[in-house]
Protein backbone atom coordinates (compact mmCIF):
# COMPACT_ATOMS: atom_id res chain seq x y z
CA UNK A 1 0.00 0.00 0.00
CA UNK A 2 1.07 3.52 -0.65
CA UNK A 3 2.08 5.80 2.20
CA UNK A 4 3.64 9.21 2.58
CA UNK A 5 5.62 10.56 5.50
CA UNK A 6 6.25 14.20 6.14
CA UNK A 7 8.39 14.14 9.26
CA UNK A 8 8.16 17.84 10.06
CA UNK A 9 4.81 19.01 11.38
CA UNK A 10 5.92 22.64 11.70
CA UNK A 11 8.81 24.53 10.19
CA UNK A 12 9.70 28.16 10.82
CA UNK A 13 12.09 30.02 8.56
CA UNK A 14 13.11 33.62 8.23
CA UNK A 15 11.99 35.55 5.20
CA UNK A 16 14.68 35.31 2.54
CA UNK A 17 16.10 32.09 3.93
CA UNK A 18 16.12 28.83 2.02
CA UNK A 19 13.54 26.13 2.63
CA UNK A 20 13.45 22.37 2.38
CA UNK A 21 10.36 20.33 3.24
CA UNK A 22 10.88 16.62 3.51
CA UNK A 23 8.73 13.90 2.01
CA UNK A 24 9.31 10.16 1.98
CA UNK A 25 7.01 7.73 0.25
CA UNK A 26 6.39 4.04 0.15
CA UNK A 27 5.19 2.54 -3.10
CA UNK A 28 6.04 -0.63 -4.98
CA UNK A 29 6.26 0.81 -8.46
CA UNK A 30 7.31 4.11 -9.96
CA UNK A 31 5.21 6.65 -8.13
CA UNK A 32 3.45 9.73 -9.32
CA UNK A 33 4.47 12.41 -6.82
CA UNK A 34 2.90 15.75 -6.07
CA UNK A 35 3.32 18.74 -3.81
CA UNK A 36 0.26 20.81 -2.98
CA UNK A 37 -0.09 23.97 -0.91
CA UNK A 38 -3.13 24.91 1.15
CA UNK A 39 -3.86 28.28 2.68
CA UNK A 40 -6.18 28.36 5.72
CA UNK A 41 -9.75 27.46 4.80
CA UNK A 42 -8.87 26.99 1.18
CA UNK A 43 -8.55 24.13 -1.28
CA UNK A 44 -5.30 22.72 -2.57
CA UNK A 45 -3.12 24.26 -5.22
CA UNK A 46 -0.68 22.13 -7.17
CA UNK A 47 2.90 23.32 -6.85
CA UNK A 48 4.61 20.67 -8.92
CA UNK A 49 4.52 17.04 -9.92
CA UNK A 50 6.82 14.23 -10.96
CA UNK A 51 5.87 11.35 -13.20
CA UNK A 52 9.07 10.45 -15.04
CA UNK A 53 12.15 11.92 -16.67
CA UNK A 54 14.29 14.62 -15.11
CA UNK A 55 14.35 14.04 -11.38
CA UNK A 56 14.55 17.74 -10.59
CA UNK A 57 11.21 19.34 -11.30
CA UNK A 58 10.35 22.99 -11.30
CA UNK A 59 7.05 24.27 -10.08
CA UNK A 60 5.17 27.47 -9.57
CA UNK A 61 6.13 30.24 -7.15
CA UNK A 62 9.82 29.40 -7.38
CA UNK A 63 9.52 25.93 -5.85
CA UNK A 64 11.39 22.88 -7.01
CA UNK A 65 11.55 19.27 -5.88
CA UNK A 66 13.97 16.44 -6.44
CA UNK A 67 12.96 12.82 -6.80
CA UNK A 68 15.50 10.45 -5.30
CA UNK A 69 14.50 6.86 -5.88
CA UNK A 70 17.30 5.44 -3.71
CA UNK A 71 16.01 7.41 -0.74
CA UNK A 72 12.31 7.19 -1.60
CA UNK A 73 12.19 10.93 -1.19
CA UNK A 74 10.67 13.89 -2.96
CA UNK A 75 11.77 16.93 -1.00
CA UNK A 76 10.46 20.39 -1.79
CA UNK A 77 12.85 23.32 -1.89
CA UNK A 78 12.82 27.05 -2.37
CA UNK A 79 15.98 29.17 -2.33
CA UNK A 80 14.41 32.27 -0.79
CA UNK A 81 11.17 32.18 1.14
CA UNK A 82 8.64 35.00 1.01
CA UNK A 83 6.14 35.83 3.75
CA UNK A 84 3.34 34.85 1.38
CA UNK A 85 4.67 31.28 1.34
CA UNK A 86 3.33 30.71 4.84
CA UNK A 87 0.80 27.91 4.44
CA UNK A 88 0.47 24.16 4.82
CA UNK A 89 2.23 21.93 2.35
CA UNK A 90 1.17 18.42 1.46
CA UNK A 91 3.14 15.76 -0.34
CA UNK A 92 1.07 13.13 -2.12
CA UNK A 93 1.66 9.93 -4.05
CA UNK A 94 -0.56 8.43 -6.70
CA UNK A 95 -0.60 5.16 -8.55
CA UNK A 96 -1.00 6.63 -12.00
CA UNK A 97 -3.46 8.16 -14.39
CA UNK A 98 -6.57 9.35 -12.62
CA UNK A 99 -5.83 7.33 -9.51
CA UNK A 100 -6.55 8.37 -5.96
CA UNK A 101 -3.89 10.19 -4.02
CA UNK A 102 -2.48 9.36 -0.63
CA UNK A 103 -1.42 12.42 1.31
CA UNK A 104 1.18 12.99 3.94
CA UNK A 105 0.22 14.62 7.21
CA UNK A 106 1.31 18.03 6.00
CA UNK A 107 3.93 20.53 7.09
CA UNK A 108 2.92 23.94 8.33
CA UNK A 109 5.35 26.61 7.22
CA UNK A 110 5.70 29.78 9.22
CA UNK A 111 7.74 32.65 7.90
CA UNK A 112 9.18 35.17 10.31
CA UNK A 113 10.24 38.62 9.28
CA UNK B 1 -5.69 25.41 -16.08
CA UNK B 2 -8.59 23.16 -15.24
CA UNK B 3 -11.03 24.43 -12.64
CA UNK B 4 -13.09 22.51 -10.13
CA UNK B 5 -15.82 24.25 -8.17
CA UNK B 6 -17.70 23.24 -5.07
CA UNK B 7 -21.01 24.45 -3.76
CA UNK B 8 -21.74 25.53 -1.14
CA UNK B 9 -18.49 26.83 0.31
CA UNK B 10 -19.93 26.81 3.81
CA UNK B 11 -23.02 25.22 5.29
CA UNK B 12 -24.46 25.09 8.77
CA UNK B 13 -27.21 22.61 9.48
CA UNK B 14 -29.09 21.08 12.35
CA UNK B 15 -28.36 17.61 13.59
CA UNK B 16 -30.48 15.03 11.78
CA UNK B 17 -30.80 16.91 8.52
CA UNK B 18 -29.15 16.03 5.22
CA UNK B 19 -26.73 18.21 3.33
CA UNK B 20 -25.78 18.01 -0.34
CA UNK B 21 -22.41 19.19 -1.62
CA UNK B 22 -21.75 19.61 -5.32
CA UNK B 23 -18.47 19.22 -7.13
CA UNK B 24 -18.21 20.42 -10.71
CA UNK B 25 -15.44 20.31 -13.27
CA UNK B 26 -15.97 23.57 -15.10
CA UNK B 27 -13.94 23.20 -18.27
CA UNK B 28 -13.17 19.54 -18.58
CA UNK B 29 -14.80 16.15 -18.33
CA UNK B 30 -14.10 13.84 -15.43
CA UNK B 31 -15.40 10.30 -15.37
CA UNK B 32 -13.84 9.95 -11.94
CA UNK B 33 -13.92 12.33 -9.02
CA UNK B 34 -12.64 11.89 -5.49
CA UNK B 35 -14.09 13.04 -2.19
CA UNK B 36 -11.79 13.81 0.70
CA UNK B 37 -12.43 14.83 4.26
CA UNK B 38 -10.10 17.00 6.29
CA UNK B 39 -10.35 17.45 10.03
CA UNK B 40 -8.83 20.56 11.62
CA UNK B 41 -5.06 20.51 11.52
CA UNK B 42 -5.03 17.12 9.81
CA UNK B 43 -4.36 15.79 6.37
CA UNK B 44 -6.84 14.83 3.70
CA UNK B 45 -8.39 11.41 4.00
CA UNK B 46 -9.94 9.84 0.94
CA UNK B 47 -13.57 8.95 1.54
CA UNK B 48 -14.66 7.60 -1.80
CA UNK B 49 -14.13 7.49 -5.52
CA UNK B 50 -17.05 8.74 -7.56
CA UNK B 51 -17.54 7.05 -10.92
CA UNK B 52 -19.74 8.46 -13.65
CA UNK B 53 -22.47 6.01 -14.52
CA UNK B 54 -21.68 3.52 -11.80
CA UNK B 55 -21.57 3.12 -8.04
CA UNK B 56 -19.03 4.93 -5.96
CA UNK B 57 -16.16 3.06 -4.36
CA UNK B 58 -15.85 3.75 -0.66
CA UNK B 59 -12.73 3.56 1.45
CA UNK B 60 -12.64 1.23 4.40
CA UNK B 61 -14.52 2.61 7.36
CA UNK B 62 -16.63 5.08 5.38
CA UNK B 63 -20.36 4.45 5.68
CA UNK B 64 -21.84 4.37 2.21
CA UNK B 65 -25.37 4.85 3.51
CA UNK B 66 -24.34 7.96 5.37
CA UNK B 67 -22.28 9.54 2.65
CA UNK B 68 -24.26 9.14 -0.55
CA UNK B 69 -22.39 9.85 -3.75
CA UNK B 70 -23.93 10.40 -7.15
CA UNK B 71 -21.94 11.09 -10.30
CA UNK B 72 -24.76 12.31 -12.49
CA UNK B 73 -22.75 13.55 -15.44
CA UNK B 74 -19.22 13.93 -16.71
CA UNK B 75 -18.92 17.25 -14.92
CA UNK B 76 -20.88 16.80 -11.70
CA UNK B 77 -20.56 14.67 -8.59
CA UNK B 78 -22.58 15.18 -5.43
CA UNK B 79 -21.93 14.11 -1.87
CA UNK B 80 -24.93 13.96 0.43
CA UNK B 81 -24.32 13.70 4.15
CA UNK B 82 -27.45 12.05 5.46
CA UNK B 83 -28.75 12.50 8.99
CA UNK B 84 -25.82 14.69 9.82
CA UNK B 85 -24.39 14.74 13.32
CA UNK B 86 -21.90 17.09 14.96
CA UNK B 87 -19.10 14.60 14.38
CA UNK B 88 -19.67 14.98 10.64
CA UNK B 89 -18.53 18.59 10.90
CA UNK B 90 -15.47 18.84 8.72
CA UNK B 91 -13.94 20.29 5.58
CA UNK B 92 -14.94 18.30 2.52
CA UNK B 93 -12.84 18.60 -0.63
CA UNK B 94 -13.35 17.05 -4.02
CA UNK B 95 -10.85 16.51 -6.77
CA UNK B 96 -11.03 15.50 -10.39
CA UNK B 97 -8.39 14.26 -12.78
CA UNK B 98 -8.91 15.48 -16.29
CA UNK B 99 -9.64 12.41 -18.42
CA UNK B 100 -6.43 11.02 -19.82
CA UNK B 101 -4.27 13.24 -17.67
CA UNK B 102 -2.34 12.53 -14.53
CA UNK B 103 -2.93 15.71 -12.56
CA UNK B 104 -5.84 16.07 -10.18
CA UNK B 105 -7.50 19.41 -9.70
CA UNK B 106 -9.01 20.23 -6.35
CA UNK B 107 -12.10 22.17 -5.49
CA UNK B 108 -11.97 24.98 -2.93
CA UNK B 109 -13.64 22.83 -0.29
CA UNK B 110 -16.89 22.95 1.67
CA UNK B 111 -16.94 23.70 5.37
CA UNK B 112 -19.75 21.77 7.07
CA UNK B 113 -20.84 22.60 10.59
CA UNK B 114 -23.52 20.46 12.18
CA UNK B 115 -25.13 21.93 15.27
- Give B29-40 pLDDT, tens digit per residue: 989 999 999 988
Chain A CB contacts of B97 under 8 Å are 97-99
Most B CBs within 10 Å: which of A1, A44, A47, A57, as the mutation test of the B interface?
Answer: A44
Interval A47-65: pLDDT, tens = 999 988 899 999 999 999 9
CB contact under 8 A, A103 and B44: yes
Sorting pLDDT into bands at 50, 70 and 90, what band is B102?
confident
Q: How far apart are CA A2 and CA A92, in angstroms?
A: 10
Chain B CB contacts of A51 under 8 Å are 102
Bin A28: left if φ > 0, else alpha if -120 < ψ < 50, else beta: alpha
CB contact under 8 A, A43 and B99: no
- Average pLDDT of span B39-44: 84
User: What pLDDT, on the 0 to 100 scale, is given for residue A79?
Assistant: 97
Amino acid sequence: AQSVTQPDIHITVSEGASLELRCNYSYGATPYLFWYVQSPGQGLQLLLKYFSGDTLVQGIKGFEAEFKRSQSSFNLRKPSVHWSDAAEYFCAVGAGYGNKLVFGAGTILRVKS
Amino acid sequence: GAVVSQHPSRVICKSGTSVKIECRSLDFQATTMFWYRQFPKQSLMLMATSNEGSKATYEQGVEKDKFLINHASLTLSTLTVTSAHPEDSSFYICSAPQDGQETQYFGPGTRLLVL
